[in-house]
Structure 1
Amino acid sequence: MTGAPLPYRVTAVRRETPDTVSVTLVPAGAAVLAPFAPGQFAMVYAFGVGEIPVSVSRVDRNELTYTVRLVGAVSAALCGVRTGDLIGLRGPFGTGWDLRRARGRDVLVVAGGIGLAPLRPLLTAALATPRDFGRLNLLVGARTAHDLPYARQLRAWTAARSPLRCAVTVDRPAPGWPGRTGFVTELVGEAQFTPANTTAYVCGPEAMIRATARALDGLGVPADQIRVSLERNMRCATGHCGHCQLGGALLCQDGPVIGWDRAADLLSVREL
C-alpha cells in the first residue's frame, strides 16, 4: 500500500528511555495493512505534522508496535501521543531480515541502542522455534544504561533458562552499573558461533554497523550472511525524493535490510 495512510488507534504507550517511546496500535476501522515481516517498515503519520519511516518493533496479528526516538517534529508528536489517539500508517515497505536464510545456522544479532527495535521481531520469531537454528546470540550496546530499550525483555533474555545467549554493554557506565563497559563490537569475540556457519543481523548507528560488519567479515562470516539495516537513510518509502540513494541503490526500494556484500560498497561511497 502506498496511498493515503490508514487510521490506527493507540492502545498503549510505553517509555523505553528518556527520549524513546513504544506506541502500540490497532486498526481504527475495517481496513487493515498487510502483514509485516520482521525488518520491514511503515510510514508513520502524525496527523497535522507529517510522517517518518519506522521499522516495526513488535507484531501480534493486527496489533503493531513502533518504537520512536525523539529527533524531530514528527517523532516529537508521535512520542507525545496518548491512549485513544489516532495515528496514520502506510506500508509495509522494504525488505525484511529473512530469518529463513539462518535455518540450521548459528544466529548472531548485534544491536546498538534503539537499533534493537527493528531486531526485536526477528528475535521473537527465532525464539519461537529455537530448534530450527544453531546457537542463538544477542549482543546489545548503548551509550548508557538509560539508553537501553526493553529493559524487562532484556532481563528475560539474559535469564539462565533462555535459549538466547545475551550480553549487554554500555559506553559510559554510571555509578553502580553492574554490567560490561565498552563498545558492542568488543563482545563479538566472546559470542559462541562458528563464523562459516553463522548468519548475523546488525542494526544501530552507521559507525557501529560498519565496525561490527567488518569485524564479522574478518572472522570469516560470509558477507552475504551479514544482514544490516540502513533504515536511517530513508525518507519517503517510494524512492522518489532521492534522500535514500547510496551509490546505485534506493534504500526505500532495495532495502533497508541488505547484505554486507552489497552494503560495504554503498557505505564506502559515503566515506569518500
Structure 2
Amino acid sequence: MRNTYVPYPVRIKDVIVETEDKQLRSFWFEFINPEDAEAFNYTPGQFAELSISGYGEIPIGIASSPTEGKDVLFTVNKVGVVSSQLHNMKPGDVMGIRGPLGNSYPLKQMEGKNVVIVAGGFAVTTLRSTMNWLLHPDNRDRYGKITFIYGARTPGMLLYENEWRNWMQRGDCDIHVTIDRDCEGWDCLVGFVPSVTEQVAPPAENSVALICGPPIMIKFTQPVFDKLGWQPDQIVLSLENRMKCGIGICGRCNVGPYYVCKDGPVFTKEQLDKLPSEY
C-alpha cells in the first residue's frame, strides 16, 4: 500500500501565464514514472498537494480532466512561499504531487439531469475539469442541458478563455461569461454572477447546480437558487478552504463534524446548512 505522505515525482511540462496581473499561472505536469500516472486516478472536484522540496506543499484543485490524458493541470495563485517558488520554476523542473485527495463532484448521481455550473474568479479550476468531463464524447449524452456561468472583475482576470470560447461554438451547452463592469472590446455579458445566474439558470426540476467561487459570490448566489425554487440537496458547493495536510490528520480544516479535506471539499447545501456559520 502506498504511503499517502509520499508525493509522486513529476516534471513541469508547460507553464501558462493566465491573468493580466500575472499572479495566476497554469502548470501542466507529466509523471516521471508511467506507473504513477496510472495510479493517480482522480475525478473532477478532487485536489492534490503540490510539493516542492525545501519549501513545503500546498493544496490545489485539479484543473485537468481524466478525459484529457495522463498529464495533469493545476492553476496556482501566487500568495505564499510555496506558490511563489512554483511561479519561479520552469518547464523541465522536477517536484512532487501528493494525491488525489478529497471527494469529487457527484457525476454519477448527476446523470440524466440538467447541470448548472457557476464559477467565480480563479475558483473555476475544478469546474474546468468538470466541463471537460461533461462535454467529452463518452459522457455528453449522459447529461441533460448544460449551463456554464463564469465571472471575474475584468476580461484579463478570466481563466481559460480559449476553452470557454470554443465551448460557445459547440451548440450543445449554454455558456455565459460576464465581467463586473463593461470595457472596450468586451463582447460577452456585463454584470455580477448572481444577477446573471438569476437570468439564465434553468428551472429546478431535474437539475443540479455546482458552485465554486469566492465567499462573497457564493453568499449572494445561493439565495438566487432559493428564489428560483431549488432545494438544498440540488446545490453542490466546493469549499476548498483552510486545508493543510489533505488527509484529515492536522485538524486545520475541521468544521462541525467534517474535515473539509477528507469529507469534502465537495458538499451539498443541505449538508452545509447544518454546519456552524464559521465555514
**Shorter-chain TM-score tier:** over 0.9
Structure 2 counterpart of 1:209, from 218, 222, 234: 218
Q: 2: distance between equivalents of 1:30 and 1:122?
A: 24
Q: 1: distance between equivalents of 2:187 and 2:71?
A: 35
TM superposition shift of 1:31: 4.6
Structure 1 counterpart of 2:16, from 14, 17, 24: 14
2:88 corresponds to: 80
The TM-score, its normalising length taken from structure 2, stands at 0.91
The structure with more strand, counted as a fraction of residues: 1
Q: 1: distance between equivalents of 2:274 and 2:254?
A: 13
2:41 corresponds to: 35
1:179 corresponds to: 188
Structure 1 residue matching 2:183: 3-state secondary structure:
coil
Q: 2: distance between equivalents of 1:144 and 1:131?
A: 34
Q: Does the CA-based 8 Å contact 2:241-2:260 persist in structure 1?
A: no
1:53 counterpart letter in structure 2:
P
1:131 corresponds to: 141
Return 5+ residue gaps in structure 1 as ranges: none
The aligned runs of 1:83-232 (5 Å cut-off) are 83-128=91-136, 129-159=139-169, 161-232=170-241
2:60 counterpart letter in structure 1:
V
C-alpha RMSD of matched pairs (Å): 1.7
Q: 2: distance between equivalents of 1:109 and 1:30?
A: 33
Structure 1 residue matching 2:64: 3-state secondary structure:
strand
TM superposition shift of 1:162: 3.0
Q: Does the CA-based 8 Å contact 1:106-1:133 persist in structure 2?
A: yes
Structure 1 residue matching 2:18: 3-state secondary structure:
strand
Q: Percent identity?
A: 34
TM superposition shift of 1:252: 1.1
TM superposition shift of 1:26: 1.1
Q: Does the CA-based 8 Å contact 1:145-1:173 persist in structure 2?
A: no
Deviations 1:53-77 (A, max 9, x none): 0111003332111111111111111
Q: 2: distance between equivalents of 1:130 and 1:213?
A: 27
Deviations 1:170-217 (A, max 9, x none): 124433333322211111122252212111101111221232223213
Structure 2 residue matching 1:58: 3-state secondary structure:
coil
Q: 2: distance between equivalents of 1:192 and 1:248?
A: 32
2:57 counterpart letter in structure 1:
E
Q: 2: distance between equivalents of 1:217 and 1:233?
A: 27
Q: 2: distance between equivalents of 1:184 and 1:265?
A: 25
TM superposition shift of 1:30: 4.7
Q: 2: distance between equivalents of 1:233 and 1:177?
A: 35
Structure 1 residue matching 2:73: 3-state secondary structure:
strand
Q: 1: distance between equivalents of 2:189 and 2:34?
A: 48
Answer yes or no: is 1:247 the counterpart of 2:256.
yes
Structure 1 residue matching 2:274: 3-state secondary structure:
helix
1:134 counterpart letter in structure 2:
G
Q: Does the CA-based 8 Å contact 2:198-2:224 persist in structure 1?
A: no
Q: 1: distance between equivalents of 2:77 and 2:238?
A: 17
Structure 2 counterpart of 1:264, from 246, 265, 273: 273
Alignment size in residue pairs: 269
Q: 1: distance between equivalents of 2:31 and 2:259?
A: 30
2:251 counterpart letter in structure 1:
G
Structure 2 residue matching 1:196: 3-state secondary structure:
coil
Q: Does the CA-based 8 Å contact 1:44-1:53 persist in structure 2?
A: yes
TM superposition shift of 1:15: 1.2
Deviations 1:54-103 (A, max 9, x none): 11100333211111111111111122221101121111110101211211
